């Protein structure tokens, strides 16, 4: 369950500027990978507008959009890093993700210097000299990472909707570039678009979904869910 447990532990160690970092778009067959970095105010009073934070994939799209603006309004600093599909093909998706995360933190640096980075996942490599901690499933555990998850996901979704207006035959607005059956069928029918990641390849479109972007969305994860309420006393 999402709580301030990790941030509170770092807070007790004297750290105040804790920067959550997460990405969106490692798995899709098309489009960029986007990372975000967010420094939330940790001490009391807590950012009450962020009580519904969670892993962005577990939130309904309209809730993500609403929280996108709220996170930006309460954050002490935030940054977005974008690495294009061309660069992904050149350096591979892992390196592209690290580069996007680094760029997001660099943007935060323009306003303040983080004291600690908390990263979603189990791996992080960068030339940044900040101490960092990786947290598996951090976007469902840490509010700082969840906030970054929302900024990254909404930013990338908006980019893919723009691409949908340029290449409408692929349905990017619906699947955001993920390897749904519909998307793979469109690739087999029309070939690769200029924004596809050519190094990812495409399997048989008649097989099951490789990754359905909204598969983990649950109707039970509503904005009023009490399990998402955050408190320093948790």
At residue 108, φ and ψ (nearest 5 deg) are -60, -40
pLDDT digits (tens, 9 = 90+) for 136-148: 999 989 999 999 9
pLDDT digits (tens, 9 = 90+) for 92-139: 999 999 999 999 999 999 999 999 999 999 999 988 999 999 999 999
pTM of the model: 0.85
pLDDT digits (tens, 9 = 90+) for 219-234: 222 222 222 223 223 3
C-alpha–C-alpha distance, residues 25 and 156, integer Å? 7
205-212 long-range contacts, Cβ below 8 Å, gap at least 24? 205/181, 206/181, 207/181, 208/181, 209/179, 209/180, 209/181, 210/178, 210/179, 210/180, 210/184, 211/27, 211/178, 211/179, 211/180, 212/175, 212/178, 212/180
CA 111 to each of CA 39, 102, 231: distance values in angstroms, whole numbers, following the listed order: 10, 15, 27
Sheet strands side by side (includes 77-83) = 77-83, 33-39, 18-24, 116-120, 132-135
Percent of the chain past pLDDT 70, that is, above it, reads: 81
> Do 230 and 40 touch, CB atoms closer than 8 A?
no
Percent of the chain past pLDDT 90, that is, above it, reads: 65
Helix (H, G, I), strand (E, B) or coil at 48: helix
pLDDT digits (tens, 9 = 90+) for 1-42: 788 889 989 999 999 999 999 999 999 999 999 999 999 987
- In this model, does residue 218 exceed pLDDT 50? no
Structural domains of the chain, with CATH:
5-162+215-220 (3.30.420.10)
C-alpha–C-alpha distance, residues 224 and 234, integer Å? 18
Q: Is the peptide bond before 74 cis (omega within 30 degrees of 0)?
A: no
Task: Supply the DSSP string of 211-224, one letter for each residue.
Answer: --TTTT--TT--TT
By mean pLDDT, which of 54-58, 152-156, 171-175, 226-230 is the weakest?
A: 226-230
pLDDT averaged over every residue in the chain: 84
């Amino acid at each position: 369950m999402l709580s301030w447990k990790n941030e509170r532990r770092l807070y007790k160690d004297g750290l105040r500027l804790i920067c959550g970092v997460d990405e969106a778009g490692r798995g899709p067959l098309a489009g960029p990978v986007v990372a975000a970095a967010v420094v939330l105010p940790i001490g009391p009073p807590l950012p009450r507008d962020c009580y519904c934070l969670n892993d962005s994939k577990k939130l309904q799209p309209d809730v993500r959009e609403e929280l996108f603006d709220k996170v930006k309004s309460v954050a002490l600093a935030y940054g977005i890093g974008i690495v294009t599909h061309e660069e992904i093909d050149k350096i591979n998706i892992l390196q592209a993700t690290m580069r996007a995360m680094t760029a997001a933190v660099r943007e935060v640096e323009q306003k303040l210097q983080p004291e600690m980075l908390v990263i979603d996942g189990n791996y992080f490599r960068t030339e940044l000299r900040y101490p960092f901690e990786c947290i598996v499933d951090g976007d469902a555990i840490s509010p700082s990472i969840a906030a970054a998850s929302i900024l990254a996901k909404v930013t990338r979704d908006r980019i893919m909707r723009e691409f949908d207006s340029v290449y409408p035959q692929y349905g990017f607005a619906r699947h955001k570039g993920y390897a749904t059956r519909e998307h793979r069928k469109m690739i087999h029918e029309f070939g690769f678009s200029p924004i596809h990641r050519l190094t990812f390849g495409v399997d048989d479109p008649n097989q099951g979904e490789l990754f359905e972007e909204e598969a983990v969305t649950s109707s039970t994860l509503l904005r009023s869910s009490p399990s998402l309420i955050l408190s320093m006393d948790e």
